[in-house]
Amino acid sequence: MRRVAGVHNNRMVSRDAALAFSLTRPPPGFIDDPYPWYAALRGHDPVHPLEGGGMFLSRYDDALAVYRDATRASSDKKVEFLPKFGRTPLYEHHTTSLVFNDPPLHTRVRRIIMGALNQRAIARMEADVLRLIERLLERMAELRELDFIEAFAARIPVEVIGNLLQVPHAERAPLRGWSLAILSGLEPAPSPEALERGNRAVSDFVAYLRTLIEARRRRPGDRESDVLTRLIQGEQDGERLTETELHHQCIFLLNAGHETTTNLIGNGMWLLLRHPAELERLRADPALVPSAIEEMLRYEGPIQLNNRRLVAPMVLGAAELPSGTSITIGIGAVNRDPAQFSDPERFDVGRRPNRHVAFGQGDHACAGMNVARLEGRIAFARLLARFAAIEAAGEPVRDRRIRFRGFRTLPVRVRPA
C-alpha cells in the first residue's frame, strides 16, 4: 500500500513546508527524524531547488540516473569546494581524495585501492576481524552496561583500517578524532569552528603520514595485505601516486571506512532495540544476518547525502537542469521510495529484494563496501551469539550532523548467554 506523501510515523509535513525545505537551515526535528520531510519532498517536489541553485533529489529513479551517468554528472568538487573551504588543507584533501574526483585520477587511485581490497584480501581479513570482535565482546560482557558506540561500533573500523595501513597500535588513538573533524567539514553549513578543527586535523594527519610513509619506504610490507605499501609502490605497470595524492588517499581510507562502519553498526543496534520482534527473528535465524545488514543500510543509512555537478544538461522527471547545476542526492529519501521498496517504512531484516543505494552506484560505488559488510556481518552474528539479552540502558545521543547519520552515544545493557 502506497503511503500518503509526507506522512511518517503519524507525522505529516505539508506541501508548503516541503517547498520551503532547506539543508542549510533544516526544519525543527529534521536531524532526529528526516523521513517525514523526505516523504513530502518525494510527493510534492522531488527535484527540489536548494540555496545557491542546487537541486535535491528524493526519488530512486532520479538518483540512479545521476549515479549511472558519469559523462554528465561529475564527482569533481573543485568548483563547489573552493568558495566553501578556500585554499586550505580541507580543500586540498577533499579535492584530491578518491571520492571527489573524476578520471583519470579516480581511475588510477581506485584501481590501486581495489587491488588491495579484492575478494581474496577480504577473505584474509576475516579471521583478524573475528578476533577483534571477540575481544570487544569479552570486555562488554565484563562491563554489562556500556556505551555501544565507544565500546564496540567505533572501535571496529579504526582497528580494521589501522591494520590495512599497518598503523602501529600505539599510534591509533588520534585516528577517530581526525576522521570526525575532517568529515564534519562536508556538512551543508559547517561552522567556522568546525572548519578550523577540520583543517587542523588534515594538517596533523598529513604530518603523521609523512613519518609513517618514510618508515614504510625503508621497510616495505607485503603489498598483498598492506594497503599503504601498495599505494606507495603503485601498480605493476608503473602508475604511481604523487606524494600529495598518497597522503590524501590514506586519509580517505580511514575516513570512509570509519564513518560508514561505525554508523552502520550503531544504527543497526538502535534499530534492533526499537524493533524487538525483528531482533528476536534475527536471533532465531542467524542466516538472516546478511539481509539484515542490507536493511540497516537502507533504513538508516550511515551517509544520507551525496553530491554531483552536472557538466552537461540533464532531464530529471519534469525538470530540465542546465550544465553547472549542483545535485544533492538524498540517499535517505531515495532508500525509502515506495516506487522501489514495498512498504518502505517497515524495518524488515529479511527484505528481498533490497536494491538500496547506501553505497552509491556506478563508477563511484563505495570502494570499501564489502569490508563494511564483512565487519557488520561478523559484528551482529557474534553479538547475538554472545549475549542472551541486549537492551537499552538510557537515552541515546544522536550525532547532530545531516550528511552523516549516527549516534554519539548509545547506552546498552547486555546479559551473556
The predicted pLDDT at position 69 comes to: 95
Q: What percent of the chain has pLDDT over 90?
A: 78
Q: Is residue 24 part of a domain?
A: no
pLDDT digits (tens, 9 = 90+) for 342-381: 999 999 999 999 999 999 998 888 888 889 999 999 999 9
Q: Is residue 97 part of a domain?
A: yes
User: Per-residue confidence at 84, pLDDT binned at 50, 70, 90?
Assistant: very high
Report the alpha-carbon distance of residue 3 to residue 11 in Å, rounded: 12
* Average pLDDT taken over every residue of the chain: 92
The predicted pLDDT at position 117 comes to: 77
Report the alpha-carbon distance of residue 72 to residue 308 in Å, rounded: 9
pLDDT digits (tens, 9 = 90+) for 106-159: 888 888 778 777 778 788 889 999 999 999 999 999 999 999 999 999 999 999
pLDDT digits (tens, 9 = 90+) for 289-342: 999 999 999 999 999 999 999 999 999 988 999 999 999 999 999 999 999 999
Q: Is residue 317 part of a domain?
A: yes
The predicted pLDDT at position 236 comes to: 63
The predicted pLDDT at position 171 comes to: 94
pLDDT digits (tens, 9 = 90+) for 202-228: 999 999 999 999 999 999 988 877 889
Q: Is residue 4 part of a domain?
A: no
Measured CA to CA in angstroms, residue 49 lies from 42, 46, 66, 250, 295 at distances of 13, 9, 16, 35, 29
Residue 382 has pLDDT above 80, yes or no: yes
Q: Is residue 22 part of a domain?
A: no
Residue 1 has pLDDT above 70, yes or no: no
The predicted pLDDT at position 119 comes to: 79
In the structure grid, which three cell numbers stand for residue 392, read together?
A: 537499552
Q: Is residue 245 part of a domain?
A: yes
> Which of these, 333, 341, 172, lies nearest to 254 by C-alpha position?
172
Q: Is residue 1 part of a domain?
A: no
CATH number at residue 176: 1.10.630.10
The predicted pLDDT at position 209 comes to: 96
pLDDT digits (tens, 9 = 90+) for 3-47: 345 545 557 899 999 999 999 999 999 999 999 999 999 999 999
Measured CA to CA in angstroms, residue 378 lies from 67, 125, 127, 289 at distances of 30, 11, 10, 9
In the chain, the number of structural domains is 1
Can you spell out the DSSP letters for 307-339?
EEEESS-EEETTEEEPTT-EEEEEHHHHTT-TT
The predicted pLDDT at position 218 comes to: 95
Give the range of the structural domain holding residue 233, as residue numbers without chain letter. 46-416
Q: Is residue 103 part of a domain?
A: yes
The predicted pLDDT at position 9 comes to: 53
The predicted pLDDT at position 297 comes to: 98
The predicted pLDDT at position 12 comes to: 85
pLDDT digits (tens, 9 = 90+) for 228-286: 998 898 866 667 889 999 999 999 988 888 889 999 999 999 999 999 999 999 999 99
